[in-house]
Amino acid sequence: MKPESKLWALVKKKTPKINWTRLEASSGLSSQGLPDLLGYNDSCGFFMLELKIAHSPKISFSPHQKLWAMTRPKRNFILCQHAPRASGRRQNHLTVKLYQSSAIHGLLIDHRETPCLAQDDWEHIQRLLLNEPADG
What integer pLDDT is reported at residue 26 of this predicted model?
Answer: 55
- Residue 75 CB neighbour total at 10 angstroms: 16
Q: Is 120 helix (H, G, I), strand (E, B) or coil?
A: coil
Write out pLDDT tens, residues 106-122: 999 999 999 999 999 99
Give the pLDDT band of residue 136 (cuts 50, 70, 90).
very low
Phi, psi (5° rounding) for residue 81?
-110, 120
pTM of the model: 0.88
Write out pLDDT tens, residues 8-21: 999 999 999 999 99
* Domain boundaries of the chain, sorted by first residue: 1-23+61-84+121-136
When computed from its CA atoms, the radius of gyration of the chain, rounded to whole angstroms, is 14
Phi, psi (5° rounding) for residue 51?
-100, 135
Give the pLDDT band of residue 94 (cuts 50, 70, 90).
confident
